[in-house]
Structure 1
């Protein structure tokens, strides 16, 4: 029996410090998953491809993901859904399902870059999401740099299902900037 697919919002691209590694951030979009975040480490080119599409930037000439979308649409097989999964404990994969049912294997970053261009659903198997998602524990830092008690987002009022706010983005960025290995253990 197949597990349920959970919809995800593509929150955006962030930079993990101190390594300056680009990270694609996804967030659960279904009721009860809104606080679950998935961070996928990607290369700079892939991060730029996703960010450009999310910002609505149109290059003077088609980039690779634009070309792929144009080719799929031109051949009559537009993109229906994107599924993000795991190849192993550290490597994400992507599956692009076309309108006619044909399935393409892809890197997760490429699949997400396509998804943001065609505005199609991005999903993850509920068991995979449960295994990889983190609920950030945000830390407050005083003006003198001292860390105060952690504040658990679960204690906060539920956020709307609309786009993520700038305040949420800034708070999650602060979490990524100060996160250590223990912050990602379930």
Structure 2
């Protein structure tokens, strides 16, 4: 199942960073808790920010391309003991084991699809009500248009007191 990366959100009171992925066909939302560094990397790439020097995920994509290998897709393949496992699927047929957070950060930079095993979506996905899903997605996208990667480094509400929609 192909997922759309909606964005990254900092959750209080536990101060967790969550990547939100949406299965448009099955109407399931897949939240994945990630580290602050990975969340910032995903948020920066998702917003189109280009760092002055390549970050680690940029470096991986550039390295692959310089060797003539492209990233076809990322697959979230399993949930084991509460940890999401992913694989980078290369155009030469190779599969590379990855943390889901790193795989998503690389996928956003490479512009490739993020897929998820159906059993992972069934186990961890949250059903989205059909009549409000589009409104919630649009509200979250509007929030993402106003947030910057720096908002994930400051306190609970970001530097300007902005809070994501609830």
SS of the equivalent of 2:50 reads coil
Are residue 125 (structure 1) and residue 111 (structure 2) matched? Answer: no
C-alpha distance 167-107 of structure 1, shift in aligned 2 (>3 A): closer
**Correspondence for 1:24:** 19
Determine which of 4, 12, 15 is the counterpart of 1:9: 4
State the structure with bigger RCO (CA 8 A, min sep 6), 1 or 2.
2
SS of the equivalent of 1:76 reads coil
TM score, norm. by length of structure 1: 0.72
Unaligned ranges ≥5, structure 2: 144-163
Greater helix fraction, Structure 1 or Structure 2: 2
The one-character-per-residue Cα deviations of 1:11-67 (angstroms, maximum 9, x if unpaired) are 11011110111001101022xx12x11111111100010000011111110000000
SS of the equivalent of 1:165 reads helix
Alignment of 1:17-166 (within 5 A): 17-30=12-25, 33-34=26-27, 36-135=28-127, 153-154=129-130, 156=131, 159=134, 164-166=137-139
- Higher radius of gyration, 1 or 2: 1
C-alpha distance in 2, partners of 1:21/1:169? 21
TM score, norm. by length of structure 2: 0.80
Structure 1 vs Structure 2 CA RMSD: 2.0
C-alpha distance 12-90 of structure 1, shift in aligned 2 (>3 A): same
What is the deviation of 1:167? 5.3
C-alpha distance 21-167 of structure 1, shift in aligned 2 (>3 A): closer
